[in-house]
């Protein structure tokens, strides 16, 4: 146990070192001249050079990397070139808005997802079940930025009952408090007017962000509840005359919600890293919007930007970032298959490893790879569309759904159909690939067939 723990700690340290090297290298390879942008359009070469010296950009790359790592270890995250403030200070300024948005989205997902998933399992193959499963499939396939635009079109432009964007009106003074959450600080101060305004601004972005975790929680809760309902202890309790309501809420719910809580914990971290699109649509002053503005203002982009913005380069960028997942999947499958008896028999007959891999192992591990690839096609469509929507994806004149949606956003609500049709195309494409993946999984997985 001690050796295992030490080995994992060493791997963690190596992973962190590798991560810092990747981040540092990408930041230095990206196009753009941040010191020239920070100095201003009319800056002289001397001023630009002084900015380079101020931020240590005149040093050699090894020295810059050493300063970067030692600063991280000491808690010094550097100074922003544009705000001239500590990066840590900037993060703490925008972090409460992002945390409040994520917490509100997860609250909506949990409050709705658990009871709906429970109801779908209890009334399995009924109307409630079909409606819940339809919402779950649609929620997973729906692009969050497109959902945000639809909510703005409906509740702002047509119904005019909620604000368009922002966290608080510019002409109003936001509530001050210890948490940085406008809702909680308003409650602590007893300022119900500010609470009402904060909730109105929070409603649309929180719902737009909650749909994906809501769909996942519903599906997970439904599957877990069905599994628990088939356990022997449930049948025993029914035989003892205990009411179905008591069995459901006292015994089944407690056992079914355990695995769902694990998914909820994973989704919180996922949402924290995925607020960019919703914050961009609703102009929500959080970390996601700040990161997008920083990328666009500095002409910095992720891996796709280092390669360019064409379709081919976007494909390469997605392949570079997604191949580790397939490598881990193949590694796990190969490790499991090579211990099977038919592999032992093949080795006993004198077959070499190239023949064993090509004739015996590879055909038996293709099913999970095909299923994952079909499911990931939908996420690839979402990724390309998302990058195009925020302005760092495929550029015009190449037609791309996310870019079309971003351009059409300026014409809403007068020409709303120019945004709705590209968004529907993204939604239907992702939904089709998800259904294909689910179908292939049912066909190729013996357990699913049973």
pLDDT in tens, 301-351: 333 344 445 677 777 777 877 788 888 888 888 887 777 888 888 888 888
400 touches 313 (CB < 8 A):
no
Across residues 219-230, what is the average pLDDT?
85
Across residues 132-157, what is the average pLDDT?
88
pLDDT at 328: 83
What residue spans define the domains of the chain? 2-73, 87-279, 301-449
pLDDT-based confidence at residue 17 (cuts at 50, 70, 90): confident
d(CA 101, CA 324): 31
Across residues 277-294, what is the average pLDDT?
83
Among 53-62, 156-165, 259-268, 304-313, name the most confident range.
Answer: 156-165
Place of tokens 């009334």: 123
pLDDT at residue 37 greater than cutoff 70: no
d(CA 102, CA 41): 38
Residues 6+ apart with CB under 8 A from 287: 91, 94, 95, 97, 98, 275, 279
Q: Kindly write down the DSSP assignment for every residue of 56-100, as one continuous string.
A: TTTS-HHHHHHHHHHHHHTT---B-TTT-SBHHHHHHHHHHHHHH
What is the value of pTM for the model shown?
0.78
d(CA 73, CA 133): 47
pLDDT at residue 420 greater than cutoff 70: yes
- Burial (0-12, 13-18, 19+ Cβ within 10 Å), 341: exposed
Average pLDDT, the chain: 81
User: How many CA atoms lie less than 13 Å away from 448 in the CB half-sphere?
Assistant: 12
Across residues 260-265, what is the average pLDDT?
80
Coil vs helix vs strand at 300: coil
pLDDT-based confidence at residue 449 (cuts at 50, 70, 90): very low
167 touches 174 (CB < 8 A):
yes
Across residues 418-434, what is the average pLDDT?
90
392 touches 304 (CB < 8 A):
yes
Residues 6+ apart with CB under 8 A from 323: none
- The pLDDT > 90 percentage for the chain reads 16
pLDDT-based confidence at residue 133 (cuts at 50, 70, 90): confident
Tokens for 225, please give them.
Answer: 């509840």
pLDDT at residue 131 greater than cutoff 70: yes
Least Cα distance to 151 among 346, 441, 419, 391 occurs for: 419
pLDDT at residue 367 greater than cutoff 80: no
Q: How far is CA 75 from CA 71, 92, 118, 353, in A?
A: 6, 14, 45, 50
Of 263 and 446, the structure prediction assigns the larger pLDDT to 263
87-279 adopts what CATH topology?
MetI-like fold (1.10.3720)
pLDDT at residue 390 greater than cutoff 90: no
pLDDT at 132: 86
* Angle, vertex CA 172, rays to CA 171 and CA 174, nearest 5: 140
Question: Quick one: CA dihedral 319, 320, 321, 326, positive or negative?
Answer: positive
pLDDT at 103: 93
pLDDT at 98: 92
């Amino acid at each position: 146990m001690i050796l295992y723990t030490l080995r994992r700690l060493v791997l963690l340290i190596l992973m962190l070192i590798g991560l810092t090297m990747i981040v540092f290298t990408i930041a230095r390879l990206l196009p753009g001249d941040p010191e020239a942008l920070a100095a201003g359009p009319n800056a002289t070469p001397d001023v630009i050079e002084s900015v380079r010296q101020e931020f240590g950009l005149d040093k050699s790359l090894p020295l810059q990397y050493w300063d970067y790592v030692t600063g991280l270890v000491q808690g010094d995250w550097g100074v922003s070139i544009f705000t001239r403030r500590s990066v840590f200070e900037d993060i703490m300024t925008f972090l409460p808005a992002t945390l409040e948005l994520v917490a509100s989205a997860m609250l909506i997902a949990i409050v709705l997802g658990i009871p709906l998933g429970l109801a779908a399992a209890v009334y399995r193959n009924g109307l409630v079940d079909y409606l819940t499963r339809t919402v779950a499939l649609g929620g997973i396939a729906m692009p969050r930025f497109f959902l945000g635009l639809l909510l703005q079109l409906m509740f702002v432009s047509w119904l005019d009952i909620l604000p368009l964007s922002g966290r608080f009106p510019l002409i109003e003074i936001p509530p001050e408090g210890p948490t940085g959450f406008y809702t909680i600080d308003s409650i602590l101060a007893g300022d119900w007017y500010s609470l009402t305004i904060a909730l109105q601004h929070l409603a649309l972005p929180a719902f737009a962000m909650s749909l994906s975790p809501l769909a996942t929680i519903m599906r997970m809760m439904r599957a877990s509840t069905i599994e628990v309902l088939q356990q022997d202890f449930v049948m025993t309790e029914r035989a003892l005359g205990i009411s179905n309501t008591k069995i459901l809420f006292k015994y089944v719910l407690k056992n079914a919600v355990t695995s769902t809580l694990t998914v909820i914990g994973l989704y919180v971290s996922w949402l924290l890293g995925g607020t960019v699109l919703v914050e961009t649509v609703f102009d929500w002053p959080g970390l996601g919007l700040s990161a997008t503005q920083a990328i666009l203002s500095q002409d910095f982009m992720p891996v796709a930007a280092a390669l360019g913005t064409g379709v081919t380069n976007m494909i390469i960028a997605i392949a570079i970032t997604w191949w580790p997942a397939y490598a881990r999947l193949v590694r796990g499958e190969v490790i499991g298959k090579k211990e099977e008896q038919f592999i032992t028999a093949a080795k006993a007959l004198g077959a070499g490893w190239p023949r064993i891999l090509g004739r015996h192992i590879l055909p038996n591990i293709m099913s999970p790879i095909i299923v994952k690839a079909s499911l990931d096609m939908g996420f690839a469509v979402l990724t390309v569309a998302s990058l195009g929507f925020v302005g760092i994806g495929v550029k015009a004149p190449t037609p791309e759904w996310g870019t079309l949606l971003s351009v059409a956003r300026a014409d809403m609500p007068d020409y709303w159909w120019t945004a709705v049709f590209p968004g529907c195309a993204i939604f239907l494409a992702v939904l089709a690939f998800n259904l294909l993946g689910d179908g292939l999984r049912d066909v190729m997985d013996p357990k699913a067939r049973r």
